[in-house]
Amino acid sequence: MSEQATTYRIELRGRLDVEWLQSFDSSVEIVADETGQAEGLTVLHVHTDQSGIVGLVRNLHGLGMTIHRLQLVAGG
């Protein structure tokens, strides 16, 4: 059974080089939203399947990033 890709919104404390993070797994589409940076957050919009989001969360944890919020985007 093939998993369907879903869109997630992730808020992280601090800043992150999204291009560098994208290099871990090219099957995960990551777009940064600059609007949260004023509050010290990096906001990512991620389009991937369940195994992709698990791998991304593990990478973020390994980098010492604090995940403030992770949510499914309705209709994404």
**28 vs 57, higher pLDDT:** 57
Is CATH 3.30.70 what the domain over 6-72 is classified as, yes or no? yes
The per-residue pLDDT for range 20-50, each reduced to its tens digit, is 877 877 778 888 887 666 678 888 999 999 9
Mean pLDDT to the nearest integer, 10-19? 86
**Domain chopping of the chain, boundaries:** 6-72
Would the pTM of this model clear 0.95, i.e. be above it? Answer: no
**20 Cβ contact partners less than 8 Å away, ≥ 6 residues apart:** none
Contact 25, 56 (CB under 8 A): yes
What number of other Cβ atoms are within 10 A of residue 53's Cβ? 19
